[in-house]
Structures are given as C-alpha cells and as structure tokens.
Structure 1
Amino acid sequence: MEHIAAELFTDPGNNAVVRLPPRQFPGVLVQGDSLSVIRAEVAEIVEACDRGDLAEAHEVAALLLADLDGLLARYNTALEDHGIARPY
C-alpha cells in the first residue's frame, strides 16, 4: 500500500470529489458499498430486459440515472466552487 496526499473538494461521505496526483482533473471516489448498489441496479436492469419486462427495466434505469445525475451535479458543483473547468 502506498500513502499519498490527495486534494479533497467535497465533504467525505458515500462519495467524494478528490484529485489524485498527478491527475489534472478530480475524480469521484465511490465507497465500495455504494458501488455494489450501482452494480446491483445495473444487473436488475439487465435481468428485467432478459425477461422482457421493459417497464421494470425503465423504472430501475430511471432511478439509477437520477442517482448518477446527482453524483454528476455534486462533481460539477465542486469543480465550479474551486474554479476548475470541466473535463468534458
């Protein structure tokens, strides 16, 4: 294990915006349990599609999209608050 100094742009929690050296732009650190939930939601979408249950797939995908939109909004706000241009 290597110890490094990282820049923290948001309060820590289930996710945080951090910049690791030597990266130009920050990234999003997602806790393992939160990553597991995202993966489970994607698996649920795939399973619903396999069953032909597009209504359920759409419902789960819409919830996942809302969660990802919130995460992206947090990222965008952190960059704006620190005067960093978006990498996209």
Structure 2
Amino acid sequence: MDHVEAELYTDGGNDAVVRLPGRRFPGVLLQGDSLHILRNDLAEVAEACERGALTEARHSADLLLTNLDALLTRYEDALRHHGIPRPY
C-alpha cells in the first residue's frame, strides 16, 4: 500500500472530488457501499429489461440517471469553483 497526498476539492462525504498525484484532472472517490448501490441500481434495470418489464426498467433507469446526474453536477461544481476546466 502506498501513502500519497491528494488534493480534496469537496468535503469528504461518500463522493469526494479529489486529485491524485500525477493526474491532470480530479476524479470522484466513491465509497464502496455507494459503488455497490450504483451497481445494484443498474442490475435492477437490466433484470427488468430481461423480464420485459419496460415500465419498471424505465423507472429504475430514471432513478439511476438522476443519481448519476447529481454526482456529475457535484463534480462539475467543484471544478468550476476551483477554476479547473472540465476534461470533456
């Protein structure tokens, strides 16, 4: 295990925006439980599609998209606040 210093652009939380040494742009550090929740949310979409339950799949996909949009907004807000251009 290596110990490094990282730049923290938001509060720690479950989805901190940080820049690791040697990286040009910050990234989002997700806690393991948050990553697991995202994975399960996507699995719900896939399972509903497999069953042909398109209304349920659409609802689950909309919730997942809302959560990812909030995460992306947090990331973009942190970049803007610190004068960093988006990498995309």
Q: Same fold (TM over 0.5)?
A: yes
Q: In percent, how many aligned pairs have the same letter?
A: 62
**Residue equivalent to 1:40:** 40
Q: CA deviation at 1:42?
A: 0.6
**Residue equivalent to 1:12:** 12
Structure 1 segments unaligned to the other structure (5+ residues)? none
**Residue equivalent to 2:21:** 21
Aligned Cα root-mean-square deviation (Å) = 0.4
Q: Residues of 1 paired with 2:8 and 2:78: CA distance?
A: 10
Per-residue CA deviations over 1:40-82 (Å, capped at 9, x if unaligned) read 0111110000000000000000000000000000000000000
Superposition misfits of 4+ residues, deviation over 4 angstroms: none
SS at match of 2:4: coil
**Residue equivalent to 2:54:** 54
Q: Residues of 2 paired with 1:5 and 1:12: CA distance?
A: 14
Structure 2 segments unaligned to the other structure (5+ residues)? none
The TM-score normalised by the length of structure 1 is 0.99
The TM-score normalised by the length of structure 2 is 0.99
Q: Residues of 1 paired with 2:27 and 2:42: CA distance?
A: 21
SS at match of 2:21: coil
The count of aligned residue pairs is: 88
